Structure 1
């Protein structure tokens, strides 16, 4: 897909939002279900099911990445997509964009072994490598824009309201507030 096509598509979307600001509010959906053992299947739109599992040393059969690895993939691919989108709009040619990510978790939080240890990531480190013939100044401007507007990075950095409920055998269960 050409940068010109991406640029025109995004500028058309921006124009539509300017004409109809309510159209800016969208909902993305996914569903998941537990299979055998630790293996799960995730469904998004009309794509084939995604296979999600744990490695053998965490009780799984290693039939796919685990959920926290998918968070890392989501961050890296979101960075790359936002680089492509803004580069197209700004007229910057990209040769390549690649992200390497590391997420640090203390398993004592997952296993409830120590109070005060979070179950999730304590730190995520990413390095995005951009190759382009554009000027360093233009690429620095692009990087600043991406860091400010990457939805997954923003989701990980800012508190997000997460609401949920549990239904047990057809009956809703009251959940205590956790925050």
Structure 2
């Protein structure tokens, strides 16, 4: 069986031979009822909803909670990918993530409150017998290369379109 380090090493070798590499990721979603939605990602189905106090039925996590979970899980994955490169033996990694959001922005009550997070904080707990300086280097590598941390920390070009009954809205 191929180890994570071997698999990532093979992928790195393939990518180093390319001048440019891009991979598209996608999700399809639909509003089901009330505020409950369903997402399909690579054949996985996920129910997304708002908590009762925000008008939902609490049938699943809400989108901003998924962003927090995405950051935590992405960091854990990047720790697993970079640990061999940093010479760190990982026994475990856990991440707690919190975000502060003012719902007045989302609901259009305040023009001063933004609709998204005002701040996001995370705390990483690493279990490892490795030397602290190697673990510090691993932390640096993760913070430098975590895709979700990059996405939420830096502006990303976005574009969108809308259709009404199958026809583009101008």
How many residues in Structure 1 have an aligned counterpart in Structure 2?
170
Name the SS for the 2:158 alignment partner: coil
Query: Relative to total residues, which structure has the larger strand share, 1 or 2?
Result: 2
Correspondence 1:19-34 to 2 at 5 A: 19-22=17-20, 24-34=21-31
1:31-110 map, 5 Å: 31-47=28-44, 49-110=45-106
Gaps of 5+ in 1: 175-179
Note the C-alpha offset of 1:15: 0.8
| TM-score normalised per structure 2 | 0.96
Separation in structure 1 between the aligned mates of residue 85 and residue 38 of structure 2, nearest angstrom: 36
- The range that moved more, 142-151 or 164-173, is 164-173
- Give the deviation of 1:164 after TM superposition: 0.4
Q: Secondary structure at 1:35's aligned position in 2?
A: strand
Counterpart Cα distance in 1 of 2:85 and 2:24: 24
Deviation at 1:116, TM superposition (A): 2.2
State the 4+ residue runs in structure 1 displaced beyond 4 angstroms. none
TM-fit CA distance, 1:113 = 0.7
Cα displacement (A) at 1:36: 1.2
The alpha carbon displacement at 1:21 in A equals 3.2
CA-atom RMSD in angstroms: 1.3
Q: Can you give the 5+ residue segments of structure 2 that lack an aligned partner in the other structure?
A: none
| Segment of structure 1 superposing worse, 164-173 or 141-150 | 164-173
